[in-house]
């Protein structure tokens, strides 16, 4: 048992509608391509994630649905990807026009490659998707598009919480209700198109900590409800040290969170 698949992040815009790693490293010939080849040589595979919080977003830089779909497809073709993730945050998710463009472009990509796994990742509150997340779901439903996973990030809730495992589950339960209503399906079916992307240890909120035990709580829920995706940010933080972006900031065994994910 072990992790066979890693998500590498992030693809951003390098001027106009040009996808590059972090918006500054080319797709081919560099350390990113070498990392993908190394993972595959070891028997694993990779997903590639677009977007994130910082940097220039393709959804904004690519001014049409066709151009954005072509940018996604350029990356898919460069690495013969089987799965992609669009982490739609900050400036990209804030615009109604951009949200619609992202969903429409992903629908076009799915039409061109029906076997491709597509995850749309976005923030959530403890009570479920916020207005922008609900808009994404409605926009997708309006054009008949269903990604492989609607993946929520159940952290940075903005208030002190002592049980992040169950708080995360409450957010996912609310997403299932929202998705079932928008897609006219059962909640059981909705869960099969839902993912969790948590954050290990200290999050961006000073008072918020997601423990290994919280991950185990989420794992049990994911197993019970057959979720489409269970992942976290990030494996390079999955080790102990003083509070830092480069580690979890809590007392833990190295790769303790990865071990939980690997059980799914």
Choosing from 37, 89, 192, 205, the catalytic residue is 89
Catalytic site includes residue 245: no
Longest CA span, the chain: 47
Q: Which residues are catalytic?
A: 89
């Amino acid at each position: 048992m072990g992790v066979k698949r890693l998500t590498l992040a992030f693809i951003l815009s390098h001027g106009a509608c040009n996808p590059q790693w972090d918006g500054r490293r080319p797709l081919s010939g560099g350390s990113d391509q070498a990392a993908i080849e190394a993972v595959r040589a070891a028997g694993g595979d990779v997903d590639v994630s677009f977007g994130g919080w910082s940097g220039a977003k393709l959804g904004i830089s690519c001014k049409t649905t066709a151009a954005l779909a072509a940018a996604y497809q350029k990356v898919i073709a460069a690495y013969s990807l089987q799965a992609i993730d669009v982490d739609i945050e900050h400036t990209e998710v804030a615009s109604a026009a951009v949200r619609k463009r992202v969903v429409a472009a992903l629908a076009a990509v799915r039409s061109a490659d029906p076997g491709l796994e597509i995850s749309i990742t976005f923030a959530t509150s403890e009570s479920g998707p916020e207005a922008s997340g609900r808009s994404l779901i409605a926009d997708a439903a309006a054009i008949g598009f269903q990604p492989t996973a609607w993946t929520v990030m159940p952290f940075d809730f903005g208030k002190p919480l002592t049980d992040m495992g169950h708080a995360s589950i409450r957010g996912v339960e609310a997403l299932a209700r929202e998705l079932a209503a928008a897609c006219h399906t059962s909640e059981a079916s909705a869960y099969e198109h839902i993912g969790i992307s948590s954050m290990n240890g200290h999050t961006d909120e000073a008072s918020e900590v997601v423990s290994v035990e919280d991950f185990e709580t989420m794992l049990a829920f994911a197993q019970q409800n057959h979720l489409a995706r269970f992942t976290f940010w990030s494996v390079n933080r999955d080790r102990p040290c003083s509070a830092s972006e480069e580690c979890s900031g809590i007392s833990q065994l190295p790769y303790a969170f990865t071990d939980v994910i690997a059980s799914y």
